[in-house]
Amino acid sequence: MALPAFRRLSGRTGRVVFALALLAVAGGMFLRGNAEHPLETARQPAAARPALSVETVRPQSEEWPLTLAANGNVAAWQEALIGAEIGGYRITEVRADVGDAVKKGQLLARIAGETVASELAEANAAVAEQEAAAAEAGANATRARELRARGFYSAQQETQFQTSERTSAARLAAARARLQAAQLRMSKTGVLAPDDGVISARAAVVGSLTQGGEELFRLIRGGRLEWRADVPSAFLGQLAPGMAATLTGPGGERVQGKLRRIAPSVDPNTRNGLAFVDLPADSAVKAGMFARGEFELGRAPALTLPQSAVVLREGFAYVFRLDGADRVAQVKVEIGRRHGGRVEIAGGLDATQAVVAGGAGFLADGDAVKVVAAADGAR
């Protein structure tokens, strides 16, 4: 009775063992197949992921100005020193301050004129006195000539009356000269602007005493400024009056000027010559500022790229040229002039080659990229 049961168990076990044997054979065949072709999977590498999505651009040919860079100071075209023409008098009023625009003849300060007024009155009285004396001497001389003709006066007496007449006339002239001087001093009690301009300095203070020739105000004539550029002597021959110049102030202000003249001599120590550039009166720069600028010598063609396409690394300039459809190659280039956010490519790049327009600083040679747009149709 036990034997049939054993046979039934042995038959079920045999089927399980047979199934396991089939699985083992199939696994062995799979492993053997892979062992016979170990590089099958390696021959199909995974696709490289783009390092960056970029836009591309091609160099453009443009007409750019040829410039000569220089440095220099901004100064007044002409600065007038205004002082009191009479000394020893007190300043009673100041009507102008630094920065004021004034007109020719405008009152800047007033000086106490009481003493001068008394001198003027005294001079007027002296003139009146001498006029009376001169009239009397003239009348006496006339009578003397008439009586001399009748034989009542001698020639000596007539000469005395004529001398008295001429002396009175001379004294009258001297009195009138003193009156004129007093009137002139009276007019100098007002300190006037000698020309239109802008007050750049003021030393006048109410209550102070004036000194002859002492500076009370300083005036920029006409409000005109000039840029005095230091230019190396080797480049002075390239400049000519009338050339345009562009200044850049400390705050980035750009001011247009015109070359007026070139100094006839060169500093023997620096070997630089001065170029004087007229600036507009309403310019952003002020007298005393240091400014950099450029002279426009002419125009010449230039192969240009946006400044964002050029990367500076280790003292050299590079661009990333599109190499194929999805990779870039780092190319060393020579750069030249800069103008309006663009830079001149002086060498190292062909005009037909497309380069990465922006974000090149995040790329390396051979990186994969995704070109999303072309600024000028460059692909």
Contact 80, 219 (CB under 8 A): yes
Q: Who contacts 228 (Cβ-Cβ below 8 Å, separation ≥6)?
A: 72, 73, 74, 75, 274, 275, 276, 277
In sequence order, what DSSP letters do the residues of 244-280 get, joined into one string? EEEEE-TTS-EEEEEEEEEEEEE-TTT-EEEEEEEE-
Cα distance between residue 232 and residue 262, in whole Å: 12
Q: Averaged over 278-284, what is the pLDDT?
A: 83
Q: Is the dihedral of CA 139, 143, 148, 149 positive or negative?
A: positive
Cα distance between residue 117 and residue 73, in whole Å: 47
Prediction pTM value:
0.58
Strand partners, 318: 311, 332
Confidence check: pLDDT of 5 > 50: no
What are the Cα distances from residue 4, in Å, to 10, 11, 14, 18, 151? 10, 10, 15, 21, 206
Type of residue found at 44: Q
Cα distance between residue 240 and residue 42, in whole Å: 72
Give the model confidence (pLDDT) of 110-130 as tens digits. 988 777 788 888 888 888 888
Give the whole-number percent of the chain exceeding pLDDT 90.
Answer: 30
Cα distance between residue 94 and residue 206, in whole Å: 6
Output helix, strand, coil percentages for the chain, rounded to the nearest 5: 30, 40, 30
Architecture of domain 49-76+225-379: Beta Barrel (2.40)
Task: Give the domain ranges of the chain.
Answer: 49-76+225-379, 79-197
Q: Averaged over 32-60, what is the pLDDT?
A: 63
Q: What is residue 203's three-state secondary structure? A: coil
Confidence check: pLDDT of 10 > 70: no
| H/E run at residue 142 | helix 114-150
Q: To 10 degrees, the CA torsion angle through 88, 91, 96, 99? A: 60
Strand partners, 91: 111
Between 44 and 195, whose confidence is greater? 195
CB count within 10 Å of CB 159 equals: 14
